Amino acid sequence: MNVLMLGAGQLARMMALAAKPLNIEVRAYDVGSEQVINPLANEQVYGDLASGIAHADAITAEFEHIDHDVLALCEASGKLKPSSQAIKIGGDRRLEKALLAQSQADNAEHVIVEDEQGFQQALEHLSLPIILKSALAGYDGKGQWRLKSNEQAAQVWTEVDEFFAGSKSLVKQGIVAEQMVPFDREVSLVGVRGVNGDVKVYPLTENHHTDGVLSVSLALTGEEELQKQAQQVFTNLTNAMDYVGILAIEFFQVGNKLLVNEIAPRVHNSGHWTQQGSDTCQFENHIRAVCGLPLGGTELLRPTAMINILGEDQVSNEVLAIQGVSVHWYGKTKRAGRKMGHINVSGESHAQLQQRLQAVADLLPESAFSDIKAYIGNLT
Ligand code: ATP
Ligand code: MG
């Protein structure tokens, strides 16, 4: 079988690696060069999207910010999973908020802002502090403003207005102004829904961010109540979209309650630990789902965590000498803060996982990993 992936980054590469043993070839459409490549060899396979579509048995996406005309072409072939609508929802916070309302999923108080009047309404309806997030094309905390005092309002509006004016998008840009949630921690749920409506979810993951970018994910155990809540939200959202494939939901945990932050209609960075911590990793399960194959087990096999390698193109090979450690590089050119690879760490017990995480942290340089080292040092 052949799967055409929209997007040719590390997620396409890891999907290709996971698909290979099933005799499934992943070809990736690079939206920059508009060519279809083999994401493992980084070589061109087809010169244009139309050939990629014609040769594919199934089409899916590794990111949600895809031109709508590309999505329409893929959908017209009848091979696209999840649907173009699901992908668009993940790429536009306004549509995402509408889905959350339709599915009665709790989330932060918010106002949609598309002009100055909307901005004033946000100030009236929400109390400070407020976070403003671009409706389109936001990721890794980009396209966001934080409004902490009324004095900042005029300046923030000027910046948002300039941001609107500079938008090159064919879809009208907007902002979702959200009440800041005083959360206890951030967690996410990665799960998969098959073509027949079967749902399987991985354990909730605790997520730590460094400068607004995910840096550590830890699979949680012993959180039955939260897990049940999260699974219900997952089922409601994916049923509402008749979704097929892996979907991730980011939550804020406030006490015993989960509020949805955002969803990602694709495999997700907070699910990379499943490569070593679960029977079937998220990449394989996504491929299975979009190809109409039975879904694989999502149970936690052993305590596992993931550390992102941000902005560095090497770490000491000594980390490989620690048992239960796997290193995954993405083959990308080094750039400050860029996601370059990740390290999965597993243990037979929590104590052992912690010990191994600490041993890995001890080998990471202070310069680039100080925040990650501090987080690992504080895990109990
Ligand atoms: P990513 O691509 O890393 O998921 P993003 O750019 O899509 O990020 P969000 O996940 O919406 O954006 O926001 C980034 C971070 O900002 C969140 O992980 C959270 O720490 C913080 N944040 C966002 N919204 C709120 C909110 N309403 N209250 C408190 N913190 C928030
Ligand atoms: Mg996020």
**pLDDT tens track of the chain, all 380 residues?**
999 999 999 999 999 999 999 999 999 999 999 999 999 999 999 999 999 999 999 999 999 999 999 999 999 999 999 999 999 999 999 999 999 999 999 999 999 999 999 999 999 999 999 999 999 976 666 689 999 999 999 999 999 999 999 888 888 899 999 999 999 999 999 999 999 999 999 999 999 999 989 999 999 999 999 999 999 999 999 999 999 999 999 999 999 999 999 999 999 999 999 999 999 999 999 999 999 999 999 999 999 999 999 999 999 999 999 999 999 999 999 999 999 999 999 999 999 999 999 999 999 999 999 999 999 999 97
Please state the atom number of ligand 1 nearest to the C-alpha of residue 183: 29
- What would the two tokens of residue 109 be? 């108080």
pLDDT score for 359: 98
Q: Is the CB of 226 under 6 A from ligand 1?
A: no
pLDDT score for 138: 65
Which pTM value belongs to this model? 0.97
Q: Is the CB of 254 under 6 A from ligand 1?
A: no
| Ligand 1 mean position, distance from CA 144 (Å) | 9
| Residue corresponding to tokens 């039975």 | 294
| Ligand 1 mean position, distance from CA 60 (Å) | 25
Please state the atom number of ligand 1 nearest to the C-alpha of residue 264: 4
Please state the atom number of ligand 1 nearest to the C-alpha of residue 178: 27
User: In the chain, where are the structural domains located?
Assistant: 2-80, 109-179, 185-377
| Residue corresponding to tokens 């549509």 | 95
| Ligand 1 mean position, distance from CA 141 (Å) | 6
Residue among 115, 82, 110 nearest 96 (CA): 110
In angstroms, rounded to a whole number, what is the distance separating the alpha carbons of residues 133 and 177? Answer: 6
pLDDT score for 170: 83
In angstroms, rounded to a whole number, what is the distance separating the alpha carbons of residues 8 and 279? Answer: 25
* Distance between first and last Cα of the chain: 45
Q: Is the CB of 70 under 6 A from ligand 1?
A: no
* CATH domain 185-377 topology: D-amino Acid Aminotransferase; Chain A, domain 1 (3.30.470)
Q: Is the CB of 140 under 6 A from ligand 1?
A: yes
CATH code of the region 2-80: 3.40.50.20
Measured by CA distance, the residue closest to atom 27 of ligand 1 is 180
- What would the two tokens of residue 213 be? 């970018």
Contact (Cβ atoms closer than 8 angstroms) between residue 283 and residue 267: yes
Please state the atom number of ligand 1 nearest to the C-alpha of residue 138: 6
Q: Is the CB of 181 under 6 A from ligand 1?
A: yes
pLDDT score for 139: 64
| Residue corresponding to tokens 């949600």 | 64
| Residue corresponding to tokens 């879809």 | 171
What phi-psi label fits residue 245: left (phi over 0), alpha (psi between -120 and 50 degrees) or beta? left
Q: Is the CB of 176 under 6 A from ligand 1?
A: no
> What distances in angstroms separate CA 243 from CA 9, 193, 349, 367, 380, one per listed residue?
23, 6, 35, 42, 37
Reduced 3-state DSSP string for 256-287: CEEEEEEEECCCCHHHCCHHHHECCCHHHHHH
- What would the two tokens of residue 103 be? 């599915």
Please state the atom number of ligand 1 nearest to the C-alpha of residue 179: 27
Best of 131, 213, 215 to mutate for ligand 1, by most ligand atoms within 8 A of CB? 131
In angstroms, rounded to a whole number, what is the distance separating the alpha carbons of residues 63 and 244? Answer: 15
| Ligand 2 mean position, distance from CA 140 (Å) | 7
* CATH domain 109-179 topology: Dna Ligase; domain 1 (3.30.1490)
- The vertex-4 CA angle with 81 and 339, nearest 5°, equals 95
DSSP H stretches of helix in the chain: 10-19, 49-55, 68-76, 84-91, 93-102, 116-125, 153-165, 224-241, 274-277, 282-290, 350-363, 366-378
Peptide bond into 203 cis (omega under 30): no
In angstroms, rounded to a whole number, what is the distance separating the alpha carbons of residues 224 and 240? Answer: 24
